[in-house]
A and B are shown apart, each in its own frame.
Chain A
Amino acid sequence: MAEARDYRAIGTRPVRPDGVDKVTGRANFGADMNLPNMIHGKVLRSPHAHARIKSIDGSRALEMPGVYAVISGADFPSGAEGEISGEGGGTVSDLAMNIMARDKALYHGHAVAAVAAKTAFLAETALELIDVEYEVLPPVLDVDVAMEPGATLVDENQHTRGNESAGPSNIAAITKFERGDPEAGFAEADVVVEGDYRVPTAHQGYIEPHACTATLDEQGRATVWCCTQGHFDVRSMTAGVLGKSVGEIKVIPSEIGGGFGGKTVIYLEPLAVKLSELTGRPVKMVMSREEVFRATGPTSASHCKIKVGAKRDGTITAATAWMAYEAGAYPGAPVGPGCMSVFAPYDLENFRIEGFDVLVNKPKAAAYRAPGAPQSMHAMESAMDELARRIGMDPIDLRLKNCADEGTQAPYGPVYPPIGIRKCLEAAKVHPNYTTPKAEGTGRGIAAGFWFNIGMQSSAEVRLSEDGTVTVMEGSPDIGGSRASMCLMAAETLGVPYDVVRAHIGDTESTGFCNVTGGSRTTFATGLAVVQACEDIIAECKKRAAATWDIDADQVDWTEGEAIPKPGVNIDVQPLSLADIAGSMGRTGGPILGRASLNAQGAGAGFSVNFADVNVDQETGKVDILSFTAIQDAGTAIHPSYVEGQMQGGAVQGLGWALNEEYIYDDNGVMENAGFLDYRVPVASDMPMIDTQIIEVPNPSHPYGVRGVGETPIVAPLAVTSNAVSDALGFRISDLPLSPPRVLAAIDAHEED
């Protein structure tokens, strides 16, 4: 079991290895790949949110000089089989149809054809010459409307899983959890609060648009360069859509300018490979920001209803949650994890949770940082705030009263191993930002956050150079500073300085399989592989030292980066450092490398507590975040600056979702704000410095106690903002975002009442 202890490298804050390249512009991102004879691909997208495609004719486009190929759904194999990973699951068939529509366009922006031309400008121009005949159908754009009996069907062949005999429905799946007797629990309650909460569609908002370049060799083997959170998954998904084997596709990841879950899926890669196959040239495809908004994965809009009953002393006697999430055009909203998260911080005897995965004519939802948890926990944590007000209890005390601990049966089933929610709450209670009274006229809100974190498959190889420098080769794209974390764990394990270790992200043919950089898994799972690969190196170094000293390997210890004889081994030798052993490895048996491949388990849940002070301008409805404090259990912070960075970045994304971010559609299902001018993410001048406090409850399943930290930070800020604004106004606005128009309208309506 990992316990808090003193480390040499872990917990320090060295400069990240990829930092200089990124700030000087040397680093290559998705759109930076250029090849000889390369041409450019562009996508024609549906102008309708719901339409039957009657015909597609690319002949006029093909007659245009400089146009090399036009493709549509008919150019791809039908009946793709298999399932893809992700929150809601999903099939390769749905993925293929999302990438290129077949008989129906299911959202405004759905790809219906693509062109390859000499320049990007020519390709754009040629799109206008593709003739598509549509039969326009009415769109269904709201989760509540989509669930009504008789609602327009997004897919006439979609049935509710497990209830196929009931006829087609926009409800793709229903999730239920129940424990105890909620009705009896409510009957015991002194106070019952109920609320209805809506969270809008929001985008991951990564700065770098999707981009890729593909080329085929004479044997039909494709090479794809792209920005992605997981190039092995790009390989398998691209192969699935194209009907190729994974051995026919090599994927080389570029640096990545943000993903937050949205780059765990693919949109362009099969199109680029197909266009390259048809033209015999490398094809580059780069999305515009507008395409990113209209056609790539936002997260689900949601409608949640919460009911919580409690005794006067704060003990919760029962809780129920009903939640409906928009999946977009294909099944797979993150409503399952939304259901499993909603009550996660609490020890409840009686509850019922129901969740609905609902199709609407919007882009297929993709993972977004703790997928599903921000929506449901916004509802529950808002209800907890209402409950605290009703019974006159400090909101932290109310949460402490009902707090889950090690041994508590989680609402989603298993018994919790060591978790950090109580320590986070206790830290919040005594934090100077909380003990300092709020300024007059301002509001303060607090909320808890949670994410499961995952392990999954990772590989790593560690190579020793002849001067004792160390190369770590792994397959997890570095989004949040993971190269630095890998180097720190390697340095700690080997007992060498951080500066002698370099980490590299290998392509699909130069390193072992790794699942995506997602689920807050990389530092935990790939880090575990790196640690094990280093232990492999140590074992070999001990053998080499033993051979040098003419003793057995089990008579050698590895301490502080050196091989030394174990206590009691009576020989007169000098310790051999890693560099000493590396310098003679040619004579002692050849190159030294360590490797590990694993399917990591026991990632350890991540809990947080956030609070903020806000000011609400009564004349404009504008909400200013005056201060924000994020407290989170990181298990062990390998590189504290990057843990803090994750906490700050997640907080800002959550605050953006709470304050301004939303997809605004017209009645025809056309997104009206598909650009950063009108879809307003927070900028630095909107935000205070996000204060952070790392709590360390080591995860017993990792040698250094690591827990994932990347996703939990986005969860609490939504309810924190709602609760703080409610405190400032004296009444609650249940729906997000708390944008100036909504807040001002609520103030006006409240004054009229």
Chain B
Amino acid sequence: MARVVFPDHLLQHTGGTREIEVQASNYRAVVRAVDREWPGIEEVLIKSAVAIDGQIYQDAWLEPVREDSEIFFMQRIEGG
């Protein structure tokens, strides 16, 4: 099961839950699984960046997720 971690700014959408485990083979499936848990959160997640096993994606979609992956949602960064 992949481990999904929510930072503070997403806790209002998860009722305070910081971590869950999901069965998914890619990022899109992770988002769908999380949205099943907290309907509507997908709208927020797609505006977030995500780190999958340390690799930061501004716009993830079909990136593969392993059985033991860590998925860490984070604020989007752009820069100057």
> What is A's interface to B at a CB cutoff of 8 Å?
83, 85-87, 89, 162, 175-178, 204, 259-262, 264, 336-337, 340, 367-371, 412-417, 451-457, 516, 518-521, 599, 601-603, 701, 708, 711
Contacts and interface: CB of A to CB of B under 8 A. Distances in A.
Contact of A340 (B54, B75, B78): B75
A451 B76 CA distance: 13
Interface string B4-41: 01011100100000000000000000000000000000
A175 B8 contact: yes
Interface string B37-80: 00000000001000101111111100100000010111111111
Interface residues of B, number: 26
B75 A454 contact: no
Given A368-B80, A602-B57, 7 more contacts: A371-B78, A452-B56, A452-B77, A456-B78, A457-B59, A519-B79, A601-B57
Contacts, number: 106
Contact of B54 (A204, A264, A415, A457): A415
A103 to B, nearest CB: 29
A337 B77 contact: yes
Contacts of B74: 340, 412-414
B72 A87 contact: no
Contacts of A178: 8
B80 A175 contact: no
B77 A87 contact: yes
Contacts of A89: 47, 76
Nearest to B78: A519
A521 B79 contact: yes
A369 B80 contact: yes
Contact of B78 (A83, A87, A259, A414): A87
Given A412-B74, A413-B72, A414-B70, A518 B58 contact: no
Contacts of A204: 80
Contacts of A176: 8-9
Nearest to A416: B54
Given A413-B74, A414-B74, A370 B79 contact: yes
Nearest to A260: B80
Given A413-B5, A413-B51, A340 B12 contact: no
A708 B80 CA distance: 12
Residues of A contacting B: mostly: loop
Nearest to A178: B8
Return the 10 tightest CB-CB contacts between A and B, nearest first.
A261-B80, A519-B79, A414-B51, A367-B80, A176-B8, A415-B54, A413-B72, A336-B75, A369-B80, A414-B54
Contact of A603 (B5, B7, B56, B72): B56
Given A176-B8, A414-B70, A454 B78 contact: yes
Given A176-B8, A455-B58, A603-B56, A340 B77 contact: yes
Given A162-B12, A336-B75, A414-B74, A701 B55 contact: yes
Contacts of A701: 55
A451 B5 CA distance: 22
Contacts of A521: 79
Contacts of B76: 89
Contacts of A456: 58-59, 78
A177 B72 CA distance: 13
A518 B80 CA distance: 5
B79 A452 contact: yes
14 contacts: A89-B76, A176-B8, A367-B78, A367-B80, A368-B80, A369-B80, A413-B5, A414-B56, A414-B70, A452-B56, A454-B78, A456-B58, A519-B79, A701-B55
A519 B7 contact: no
B59 to A, nearest CB: 5
B78 to A, nearest CB: 5
Contacts of B12: 162
A600 to B, nearest CB: 9
Contacts of B80: 204, 259-262, 264, 367-371, 518-519, 711
A85 B57 CA distance: 15
Contacts of B51: 413-415
Contacts of A83: 47
Nearest to B13: A162
A204 B56 CA distance: 27
Nearest to A161: B9
Contacts of B53: 414-415
B9 A367 contact: no
Given A175-B8, A176-B9, A371-B80, A602 B55 contact: yes
Contacts of A602: 55-57
B9 A601 contact: no
Contacts of A412: 74
A457 to B, nearest CB: 8
